[in-house]
Structure 1
């Protein structure tokens, strides 16, 4: 695939493929008139988003507060476990896992919106999205405000310096990428390729991209990790050979890999789709591509999976507070706010308006990552195997994977032993 022509877009792609739901209003119920509040109803939202994305959230809240003097959102960065939990929480990783343990602390998003009489104009949760914010009926328990999927980013200037034309060099398969990395290494590039979140890319998403299982049935309704099959072992072993050949450099933290790519130290990176905005802010001349695939693998490429921070609603709040929260969710989903959120954060769209914006020629350069990501997520109809698997997406399991893969990069374990150990560790509750 050519870097310049990889504007895969959604033109011709049915919006239904990404699970678009029309706006639906809750049926009105006769209720006794409540006394008017004496002042503005204020609710708190707690988050731990990175600085640039926190700024986008602040801007969104400022716009909401400016047009809603009777309803105000207060932004805070604090521990949600305090004596008075916030009405809204944006959680991810270990924080989200902890929030969901034990007695439910949340009010389902769909229920809050219905009870508040506010339409929920959002996506039907697609099968490739993380299962955490969705119930067994496919209803949204939380709003997935920070969805990403891994993509391949290339430094176009690094390619030129290596004698590669970034507009004509094909990088569709892993063999294509290996050829390009060889040229980069031969030209003296010390870090041809790096990966942010190796376990998420190399095991979770590459498995879905090739329709290979990462989980097996355990009991009636349970799942057990099984990401140590032939496919996963083959890919990790190949990455280990690239590491020994100095084609691949792995850094201790994902943020390190992204910083080194943004600075020009690394020429190619597999990183979350939202990283696009960070790379562009750094002034990098960056191209965005789908993840490579193995062309000798039947059916590949299939689809990748998406996950990220979600907006949860605390249980036990007053009806007036829930109405403010519902209005804020609806405001977030307005077309102009969806476009601004995508452009400023790099996160994937939440509704039809966001999807249509990613098709726009006027916004093409700003939303290139969204076009490529959505095309990758919807490349083929999701299967039971390529759908998101909660047993792998838990923060603890990803951490185990990265730890065991680190032993591969350090030549302490071969690929199979590392993945076998990761499965054994992940299977312990």
Structure 2
């Protein structure tokens, strides 16, 4: 049985932005140093830039912590003996949560260590279902939340006679801009990272369209889905749109200067900015003729899980590390280095400040997409939307549209049929 299916889809909130996730009691004394001096391993296979940011965070913690050191390893969670904690996402997280319980709930870890866990009163349904139990308590900590936004290479716009400050806001504007770029000789006007997540799940939520129907089944073959995919297919044929893979390959193409526009998670900014050109960021495009647009997008990302069966000293060090991670200074450094969303209110306020507004503007745009409009029954995140098996089917069928010319309606009908045949709910 998949443990994920037992987790109530009350997500770790963007009430993370409305109330602190962790706060030490005012009367509490600093925790005593851990008795053990052995290194405490956290394993992770984050992308290189995120891994480097995590290593820097751990180094700062180790300098301030009078006790055991935390060490970061780059390995799969099931490659050898389990680490004291692991950062997991996608298929690796799904496998970790399948079968016997391999983790100690984070709320228990911090409670035993004397760190108060403040559960937000209002959980947000726009964060993909993660490690939250039926009582709203954290089982794991989502450390890398992200949602898709729109990037442009302002230098390419300027060079080809387009206003670099005019980031397209609607799909019609994107089409018009792509056409002008093609006419100017730009080989790749637009590319999209994580196309199944962006073009189906998030575009649906942004337009208040259900991704999952009342029966709990994926329902991506309605008229609005077909219309959107058919438009994307026509763009791909005319080379307005180019696709490079199911993950973040498109981000590298944009960073290289090959593509003028990019739709990708806001966490792509650190890599995208390595291209050395000016970048404009705006919200995900929307259709003006769809009632209810724009609604909200959905956030997902890797989470920290603490292994079961460790010593009290290890748990105490991990709890202190989590508390350290949530300090405002660390939050700012983490957001700057990774592009991930803030983990609590302090991080959100920092990202919204005038001092950091320009540097972290992409994060504020992402947060606004998530919380500016209250989510509806149609626009909420679902377990199926973050299921690796569901995403694989959707990507397969999208590939058949891009590479084989399959009709949008047929591809989406077959995607729905295949997912239902898998029995995933």
Q: TM-score, normalised by structure 1?
A: 0.89
Name the structure 1 match of 2:10.
none
C-alpha distance in structure 2 between counterparts of 1:16 and 1:316, whole Å = 31
1:252-281 CA distances to partner (integer Å, 9 max, x unpaired)? 353331111111111101011100111112
Relative to 1, partners in 2 of residues 1:28 and 1:394: Cα closer, same or farther, differing over 3 Å?
A: farther
Q: Which moved more, 1:74-83 or 1:368-377?
A: 74-83
Give secondary structure in 2 for the equivalent of 1:271.
Answer: strand
Counterpart contact for 2:17–2:343, Cα < 8 Å: no
Name the structure 2 match of 1:154.
152
Name the structure 2 match of 1:8.
none
Instruction: Flag structure 1 segments of 5+ consecutive residues without an equivalent.
Output: 1-14
Name the structure 2 match of 1:111.
108
Output the aligned Cα RMSD.
2.2
Paired residues for 1:403-414 under 5 Å: 403-414=396-407
Name the structure 2 match of 1:351.
344
C-alpha distance in structure 2 between counterparts of 1:263 and 1:86, whole Å = 36
Relative to 1, partners in 2 of residues 1:118 and 1:170: Cα closer, same or farther, differing over 3 Å?
A: closer
1:73-117 CA distances to partner (integer Å, 9 max, x unpaired)? 111122322553111110001100000101211111112111221
Relative to 1, partners in 2 of residues 1:122 and 1:48: Cα closer, same or farther, differing over 3 Å?
A: farther
Relative to 1, partners in 2 of residues 1:260 and 1:115: Cα closer, same or farther, differing over 3 Å?
A: same
Relative to 1, partners in 2 of residues 1:83 and 1:406: Cα closer, same or farther, differing over 3 Å?
A: closer
* CA shift for structure 1 position 41: 4.8
Name the structure 2 match of 1:308.
301
C-alpha distance in structure 2 between counterparts of 1:301 and 1:127, whole Å = 16
Paired residues for 1:164-203 under 5 Å: 164-167=162-165, 169=166, 171-203=168-200
Relative to 1, partners in 2 of residues 1:356 and 1:304: Cα closer, same or farther, differing over 3 Å?
A: same
C-alpha distance in structure 1 between counterparts of 2:24 and 2:213, whole Å = 39
C-alpha distance in structure 2 between counterparts of 1:119 and 1:341, whole Å = 22
Name the structure 1 match of 2:313.
320
Q: What is the aligned length?
A: 405
C-alpha distance in structure 1 between counterparts of 2:293 and 2:97, whole Å = 35
Name the structure 1 match of 2:19.
20
Aligned to 1:70, which of 67, 72, 85? Answer: 67
Name the structure 2 match of 1:6.
none
* CA shift for structure 1 position 401: 1.0
Counterpart contact for 2:193–2:245, Cα < 8 Å: no
Give secondary structure in 1 for the equivalent of 2:400.
Answer: helix
1:50-78 CA distances to partner (integer Å, 9 max, x unpaired)? 11111111111111111113121111122
Relative to 1, partners in 2 of residues 1:347 and 1:115: Cα closer, same or farther, differing over 3 Å?
A: same
C-alpha distance in structure 2 between counterparts of 1:142 and 1:125, whole Å = 15
Name the structure 2 match of 1:255.
248
C-alpha distance in structure 2 between counterparts of 1:363 and 1:282, whole Å = 21
* CA shift for structure 1 position 308: 0.5
Name the structure 2 match of 1:132.
130
Counterpart contact for 1:122–1:352, Cα < 8 Å: no
Aligned to 2:223, which of 211, 214, 230? Answer: 230
* CA shift for structure 1 position 16: 5.6
C-alpha distance in structure 2 between counterparts of 1:22 and 1:160, whole Å = 43
* CA shift for structure 1 position 332: 0.5
C-alpha distance in structure 2 between counterparts of 1:143 and 1:349, whole Å = 12
C-alpha distance in structure 2 between counterparts of 1:359 and 1:382, whole Å = 22
* CA shift for structure 1 position 241: 1.0
Relative to 1, partners in 2 of residues 1:67 and 1:398: Cα closer, same or farther, differing over 3 Å?
A: same
Q: Which moved more, 1:51-60 or 1:79-88?
A: 79-88
Relative to 1, partners in 2 of residues 1:362 and 1:38: Cα closer, same or farther, differing over 3 Å?
A: closer
C-alpha distance in structure 2 between counterparts of 1:350 and 1:19, whole Å = 10
C-alpha distance in structure 2 between counterparts of 1:65 and 1:379, whole Å = 38
Aligned to 1:100, which of 86, 97, 100? Answer: 97
1:278-309 CA distances to partner (integer Å, 9 max, x unpaired)? 11122131111101111111111000000011
* CA shift for structure 1 position 424: 1.6
Aligned to 2:47, which of 43, 47, 50? Answer: 50
* CA shift for structure 1 position 172: 1.5
Aligned to 1:290, which of 283, 287, 290? Answer: 283
Name the structure 1 match of 2:358.
365
C-alpha distance in structure 2 between counterparts of 1:217 and 1:138, whole Å = 23
Give secondary structure in 2 for the equivalent of 1:307.
Answer: coil
* CA shift for structure 1 position 140: 1.7
C-alpha distance in structure 1 between counterparts of 2:56 and 2:270, whole Å = 16
C-alpha distance in structure 2 between counterparts of 1:213 and 1:245, whole Å = 29
C-alpha distance in structure 2 between counterparts of 1:17 and 1:44, whole Å = 27
C-alpha distance in structure 1 between counterparts of 2:249 and 2:333, whole Å = 27
